[in-house]
Structure 1
Amino acid sequence: MGQLGFDFGVQPKRLTKVTPARLSTFDDCPRRYRLTYLDRPTPQRTGAWAHSTLGAVVHNALRALFDLPADRRTPERAAALVTEQWNDAGFLDAAQAHQYRERARQWVAEYVEHNDVSGDPVGLERWVSAPVSAGDGPPSLIVEGRADRIDERDGELVIIDYKTGRKAPDEYEARGSQALALYAVAAARTLRRPCHRVELHHVPTGTVAAAEHTPESLRRQLTRADETAAELQTATDTLEAGGDADTLFPARTSRRCSWCDFRPSCPAGQQAAPAARSWDLLAP
């Protein structure tokens, strides 16, 4: 007996799966998107960057802190976790690495001292994923990604993203962050609780930049994501069909070419800006 069902000869629409990192990379530079996600074997990259190492250590230390019982989440233990997570990749030398390790220990200790860390987050480095639509129609893409931290307050989810860069973020940056908005949408669908509040926690200064999304502001971010996803999917499909890689994924040069991971594999980027040293993006 044949399979029961209906077949109207219409193929279901393929949903493009995207993460905030993929969307941001394509928006910044289609060439870097291709080099990162499509070209195999992966083209030559630069070595480690000190600012990335620093950020990863702080993130890992705070994640490890919340894995502890609440009564052990002390400033002293937080500082010790920085030491446990530390590595020197990208720093000028051992002296510079030591200087920033001590800074990071102080940052994390003060963050724990001045913020309530007694509650257990709903998620730490939690992967969230959901089919979404920018309008009222059927889903057009799947957004997914890993949120640094998801709290629950008064029955609603809160997306928290840690920052360790030179500049403290503000409310405008929190509201304009596509990544935070997409995490909010995906978390609400995955965990089945409302999610409108997003926060950027700048660990070096203790600044918390927060924004409350509305259905309209989330829809705007979904529309933008849908447009980028459609563009990158068309370029990818055309490349697979034999299209010209450089035409489909042009280099979008800027001062960021100085510290692009794929600078060694991109002549356009090499010509656009001088190479940065691996420690140049550290906060002074």
Structure 2
Amino acid sequence: MAEPVGAAAGGAIQDRGTRRPALSPSRASDFKQCPLLYRFRAVDRLPETPTRAQVRGTVVHSVLERLFGLPTDQRDPERARALLAPAWAELQEQQPELAELFDGPDDPELARWLESASALLESYFELEDPRRLEPEACELRVETELDSGVLLRGFIDRVDVAPTGEIRLVDYKTGAAPREIGEAKAMFQMKFYALVLWRTRGEIPRQLLLMYLASKQRLAYAPDETELRRFERTLEAIWQAILRAGRTGDFRPNPSKLCDYCDHKPLCPAFGGTPPPYPGWPEPDPGEESVLDRTD
């Protein structure tokens, strides 16, 4: 394992690791929301307790990815429901602690939870027919370096490419259609992916499509070059602010209504808490997204 990356004398960040720090949509959103939240997640890497809703979103994403791996004539609601239990079992194998969300396999709450996941899958089929689609990629890991040196990395739920070459990026949301704050955060994520694809392939995606399964709604958006250039400057500014904070450990809290949903509220000085000692700039890569990051 590579040595940790810490702050050098004089405040310069030393990179002793084998992988450079990168910026992901989730971590960029964290820093915008609250710099201290970014530190807790990306630098301290404090554990968080996933909710049943988050894990359900992960399972639904996995089922949809598996569905598109099947021949087109097998992509129906019945097959999607059949994929649900194996996807949940595989996720538990990868993260055994998730089994603690329920009191064993006979917990009636587990049955209701699986049924709610099945309902989300049924909603998906009301929004589109996967038998008429042949995505270029599902759960695509993307990475690019901007001219400024900022490394961007993330996962795209689905990439569709039309016969004429136009690109559509699709993201599934398992929560209800959001209010203004949630919608802005979701579109921030999609613009991030659009920028990465543009810088990687030289073509701006024709459409960014958010599919809200719980409310059975679609939100489509067409980005343009001027907007993506402006967004690129925004990401560069966020990254520079992260580096400045990383040199000193000065990640300040930004209290908001969202604090009530934060696992780390007891450690936040805005609420009388004390953060752990600053460990220095992290290694490995603080831009890597977890499985749960890729749901909502």
Q: After TM superposition, is the score higher than 0.5?
A: yes
1:141 — aligned with what? 150
Match of residue 57 from structure 2: 55
Contact kept, 8 Å, 1:160 with 1:199, in 2: the verdict is yes
- Given residue 251 of structure 2, which amino acid in structure 1 is its aligned partner? F
TM-score by length of 1: 0.74
- Please name the residue that 2:22 is paired with: 17
- 1:157-179 Cα offsets, whole Å, 9 max, x none, are 11111101133579x93797221
**1:29–1:127 CA distance, 2 compared to 1 (3 A):** same
Q: Which secondary structure state, in structure 1, belongs to the residue aligned with residue 119 of structure 2?
A: helix
Q: 1:120 aligns with which of 130, 134, 138?
A: 134
Q: Does 1:150 align with 2:128?
A: no
Aligned equivalent of 2:208: 198
Residue 22 (structure 1) shift: 1.5
Contact 2:120-2:174 within 8 A present in 1 as well: no
Contact 2:34 2:252 survives alignment (8 Å): yes
Does the C-alpha gap of structure 1 residues 174 and 206 become closer, same or farther in structure 2, counting only changes over 3 Å?
Answer: farther
Give distance in 1, aligned partners of 2:265 and 2:70.
Answer: 40
Q: What 5-or-longer segments of structure 1 have no aligned partner? A: 1-13, 133-137, 240-244, 272-284
Q: Once superposed, what is the RMSD of the aligned Cα atoms?
A: 2.9
Distance of aligned partners of 1:186 and 1:175 in 2 relative to their CA distance in 1, 3 Å threshold? same
Larger CA deviation: 187-196 vs 52-61: 187-196
Decide which moves more: 80-89 or 203-212: 80-89
Check whether the contact 2:170–2:211 (CA below 8 A) recurs between aligned residues: yes
Higher RCO (C-alpha 8 Å, min separation 6): 2
User: SS of the counterpart of 2:109?
Assistant: helix
Alignment of 1:63-102 (within 5 A): 63-86=65-88, 90=101, 94-102=107-115
2:161 counterpart SS class: strand
Distance 1:175 1:255 in 2: 15
Deviates more, 1:101-110 or 1:66-75: 101-110
- TM-score normalised to structure 2 length: 0.72
CA gap 1:110/1:48 in 2 versus in 1, 3 angstroms = closer
Distance 1:124 1:143 in 2: 19
1:167 alignment partner, one of 149, 152, 177: 177
Distance in 1 of aligned mates of 2:272 and 2:171: 32
Of Structure 1 and Structure 2, the greater strand share is in 1
Whole-angstrom distance in 1 between the partners of 2:265 and 2:108? 27
- Which residue identity does 1:66 align to in structure 2? F
Tell me how many residue pairs correspond in the alignment.
241
CA contact (8 A) 2:135 2:159 kept: yes
Give SS of 1:146's match: strand
CA, structure 1 residues 199+270, in 2 after alignment: closer, same or farther (shift >3 Å)?
A: farther
Report if aligned partners of 1:147, 1:183 keep a CA contact under 8 Å in 2: yes
